Each structure stands twice: as structure tokens, then as C-alpha cells.
Structure 1
Amino acid sequence: MAPSLLVVTVTYNSSSAIGSFLSSLATAVSSPFSTIIVDNASADVEATRAIVSATDARLIALDENGGYGAGITAGIDAFGPSPDYILVVNPDVHFAEHSIDTLLEIAEQYPDAGSVGPRILDPDDTVYPSARNLPSLRTGIGHAVFSRAWPNNPWTRRYRRSDSTGDTLRDAGWLSGACLLVRSEAYNEIGGFDPSFFMYFEDVDLGARLGRAGWRNLYAPQASVVHTGAHSTSQNAGAMERVHHESAYRFLSRKYTGWYLAPLRLAIRFALAVRVWWRSR
């Protein structure tokens, strides 16, 4: 019997993308599945509702925007019985035919895989580095300081993984939440997404906690999707830049705990604040 699957996406003023998302989803998986769309208090929720009403998907309209991870949690909680797998995905993703079938097949082949992520392509068909190492202090600082002026610097290469564009199934520290198949057993064991991450780094944190619990994060380039762009976040780029760096600090400060590391945490906060100022000036 085919494993049960719940697809959950979170929309925020995404009515222009949701129709294409649902159309490609129908060709990506051949076995029965359920779809829940959680709207994070969008201005265009009625337009989204009209599109969704013509499909088998279910729309949950929230009164407040609690962030991406909280929206995913609301969708999972509303579903009720735990499925075998949960596909966490952005609404501006376009699926290749049978791509989800491939992810499910790989997850079934590797029962120790807590998450499985596909190859993610940008609209110009370049491969987005969606399977990365967990950020450390050294790679994080090097990537933050040099990634724009010197894109091929060694710290960015180490963080993004030089083999991110390869064709081989491999382990990763974390996988992009733009499209991520999660085993419900593993997801429930670690408590799901941490709602304190409003946006960004919720997928890094999830991958880190899955790894600490003994689960693998598998990058599966045999399946591919196209991520058409940061649709909702681009609507307020300045604010999202600040949120991104706040989430980065939250993740790193939790990694480097202890009273004796207080000066280090202060230095990280200062460096990230300077980077926000520099990028948004």
C-alpha cells in the first residue's frame, strides 16, 4: 500500500502563484494525497480561496501571520491523523512530473531518512544550493562577510557544499524548506518546526535537530522542482533582510551557549547588525 502523504504550503499574498502550484502538484504524485493551504492573513485571501475552491485542496485562513513554520504547524494540526509523510513546500514551486513519487520512493528505501529534499532549480535552470552544511561560526562569518563581493570564497563553498549541484544521493546538514519531504515519525519526535523562527533558518534548525536525533537529511537530485522566486518575501525586502539576520542570530546563539561564550554571542549580534545596515542602506 502506498504511504499516506499530506502536502502543506503557506501563502502570503500568493494568489498569483497558487494556481500553477496546484496544477503541477497534480502531476507530481500518482498515489492519493491531501493538500492543505494555510494563508497567513493575506490581503488577497479571497482570490486564493476562489482558486482553491475549484480543487480538492483545503484552505485554512489565519487571522494573524505567525510566520512560515507556524503556518506549516497550523496546517498539520488541522489535518488530524498523522500521515506517513508531510511535504512542506512554498506556493511558488513548480513540480516536475512524478517528482514527489521519486521523493517518496527514496524515503521508503531509507527508513533512517528524516527528511528528503529534491534538486531545486531557479527559473533560469541553474541549480540552487538547497542541501548545505550546518553553519558554524567560522563558515558563517566568512560567508556573511564575503559572499557578495567574493561569491566563490572558501567559506561560502564549504557552507553551500561544492557538490550541491551533483547528481548523487547524499547526506546534508540541512535541506531547504522551499520543498522538503519529512517523515512524520521524525517530525513528531523532534516537535516539528520551532515557531520562534518567524522566517528563515526554520529549515536549518529543523535539519540540525533531526540530525541530533539520529535521522538523516537526504538530498535526492533524482527529483527536481523549480522555485520561481521568493514571492512573498520580495514584497518587503528590507524587513525580510532584518528578519533573516535575526533568525541567523537566534540559531547561532543557541548553538554557542554557555556564560563564557557571552562575548562571542555579543560579537555575532554586532556583526549581523552591521551586515543588515550595509545591505539595506
Structure 2
Amino acid sequence: AGQSVSITSIIIVDSGSTDTHYLDDFAQKEGIKLILSDNIGFARANNLGFSEITDQDGIVVFLNPDTFLPENFLSQAIEVFNENLNAAIVSGKLLGFNPEQGGETGKIDSTGIFRKWYGRWYDRGKGENDSDRYNLIQQVPAVCGALMVCRMEPLHRYNGVVFDSDFFLYKEDIELSLRLRRDGWRLIYDPRLTACHCRGWQNKRGRIPFALRLMAAKNEVMLYRKHPSPYILWALMKYILVRVFRV
């Protein structure tokens, strides 16, 4: 939906689509920049888009094409930033959306990314009925990459490498979250902010191609190498289970 605050630029990066006709409607619109590239992965594609931003302050929104914001989302996000001057990322409650039925699923998609005691990262609340359970404003360990509302200041300190390009797909959002927290910034979850996300594969792991499951497992090992932790033992075990037994 159109937002109630001024947006200085919209940058759309298409990374390797075989059919780009869906972009035709945006080609002549003022304030929208289109970038077509090979399939360079989630991290590099977002970095490519970020490199086109000329503003040095304010906020930037990294938004998946299957994520939709209500009209007042950005104005509310700005208020949260103003209330939390040490926040690098602000996020809210992502709700599931079924494009075939054209409506919300009534299920939660993510209320932040958390870590189990043994090391597995997961989207909190994923698949649960939307209720009052996750209605507390709080700091979270990591934020889902489908929707990241970021303060520009800390991102500029990474000299254009917002997302680590070693991660082609999966876990790059967690890596950025860990890096920002390491550098003293906070990640704020505010349930008053809501958006819809059409997550692929319908939350069923068996439908995810083996190559993608293996990539996710490899990236989890790499994540713990970049941010050393005993949890790497769990990540290595997961990789072996996926690689050898295809679980």
C-alpha cells in the first residue's frame, strides 16, 4: 500500500528472473529505479540496491517482493526509531498471507528470529495462530530478512557491504543482526507494526529442494565460523544430517 510518509526513492533489484515483464509497470514511474542482474543471491542483490542510495541518513527498508506493508507502517516505524535512538533495525509482526486465496492465513510468519538452547535459529511464532502472545515490545536476537527497516547510520559503517555476500541465500539476515548487536546496536520488535509475508514452500520442509536445504545447513556452519560459538557443533551435526541422510 502507499505510505503516509515521503519516500525519496524506490529501488527494485531483479536477480536472475527469466521473465521480467512484471517490471514493465514500474519502468516509467518517477522515483523508481530498476536494476536487472544475474542471479547473484539475496545478499549481493540487496547490497547492489543499497549502493544506489544517495541519502546519508534516515531509514532504508529491505523488502521482499512477497511482503506487503499497510499504509501507516513506515510512519509508525519512524516513531519507534525516534523512541529508540540506539535501534539499528525495527521490525514488527509478520503475518502469513495466501496469494491463492487473496487473504491473510490467520497464522504468524515471524515475530523475530530467536535461538534454541542448543543453537538452532527459528522464526518465533511461525505457524501459530495470531494472538496476544507476542505483543510485548522488546529487543530480539535477529530479524527476518523479508522485512528489515534499518537506520542508515550503522549500515554506512560497513562500506556498502550491508549483507555478507558469502551468504548466497539463507542466514544473511541473522549474520547482519549479530554484527549490528556486536557493534552496540539494538534490534527492536514492536508488535504494533504488522505486515504480510507470502512465505514460500508453505512451511513444509519436505517441499524445500535438497539443494536449498543443504545451502541453509552450510550457511549455518559459516555463520558460527564468522561469529564463533560452541553452537557450531550443532550446525555441523545438522549439515552432516542434511548432506548424508538428506533430512
For residue 40 of structure 2, what is the aligned residue in structure 1?
A: 66
Runs of 4+ in 1 over 6 A off after TM superposition: 161-164
Q: Distance in 2 between the 1:87 and 1:76 partners?
A: 10
Q: Secondary structure at the match of 1:220?
A: strand
Amino acid at match of 2:241: V
Amino acid at match of 1:224: T
Does 2:134 align with 1:173? no
Matches within 5 A, 1:179-194: 179-190=147-158, 191-194=161-164
Does 2:212 align with 1:243? no
> Which of 53, 57, 69 lines up with 1:95 in the alignment?
69
Matches within 5 A, 1:191-270: 191-230=161-200, 237-256=209-228, 268-270=235-237
Amino acid at match of 2:124: R
| Alpha-carbon distance, 1:278 to partner | 4.5
Q: Distance in 2 between the 1:76 and 1:85 partners?
A: 11
For residue 130 of structure 1, what is the aligned residue in structure 2?
A: 111
Q: Distance in 2 between the 1:183 and 1:177 partners?
A: 15
Aligned length: 229
| Alpha-carbon distance, 1:214 to partner | 0.6
| Alpha-carbon distance, 1:137 to partner | 7.0
- Cα deviation 1:127-146 (Å, max 9, x = unaligned): 2233133x477232xx7xxx
Q: Distance in 2 between the 1:266 and 1:174 partners?
A: 20
- Cα deviation 1:78-101 (Å, max 9, x = unaligned): 233434111011000111221121
Matches within 5 A, 1:22-171: 24=1, 26=2, 28-45=3-20, 47-56=21-30, 57-62=32-37, 64-123=38-97, 124-133=105-114, 135=115, 138-140=118-120, 160=124, 165-171=133-139
For residue 151 of structure 1, what is the aligned residue in structure 2?
A: none
**In the alignment, is the contact (CA less than 8 A) between 2:57 and 2:153 conserved in 1?**
no
Q: Secondary structure at the match of 2:56?
A: coil
- Cα deviation 1:213-255 (Å, max 9, x = unaligned): 1100000111111001238xx9973322221111111112333
Query: Aligned-residue CA RMSD in angstroms?
Result: 2.9
**In the alignment, is the contact (CA less than 8 A) between 1:177 and 1:203 conserved in 2?**
yes
Q: Distance in 2 between the 1:270 and 1:32 partners?
A: 45
Residue segments in structure 1 that go unaligned for 5+ positions in a row: 1-23, 144-155
Identity of aligned residues (%): 20
| Alpha-carbon distance, 1:109 to partner | 1.9
Task: State the TM-score, normalizing by the size of structure 1.
Answer: 0.72
Q: Secondary structure at the match of 2:209?
A: helix
| Alpha-carbon distance, 1:161 to partner | 7.5
Q: Distance in 1 between the 2:246 and 2:211 partners?
A: 12
The structure where strand makes up a greater share of residues is 2
Q: Secondary structure at the match of 1:78?
A: coil
| Alpha-carbon distance, 1:43 to partner | 0.3
Q: Secondary structure at the match of 1:256?
A: coil
Q: Distance in 2 between the 1:60 and 1:39 partners?
A: 6
Amino acid at match of 1:225: A
Q: Secondary structure at the match of 2:157?
A: helix
Residue segments in structure 2 that go unaligned for 5+ positions in a row: 98-104
**In the alignment, is the contact (CA less than 8 A) between 2:64 and 2:147 conserved in 1?**
yes
Q: Secondary structure at the match of 1:222?
A: strand
Q: Secondary structure at the match of 1:168?
A: coil
Q: Secondary structure at the match of 2:134?
A: coil
**In the alignment, is the contact (CA less than 8 A) between 2:93 and 2:192 conserved in 1?**
yes
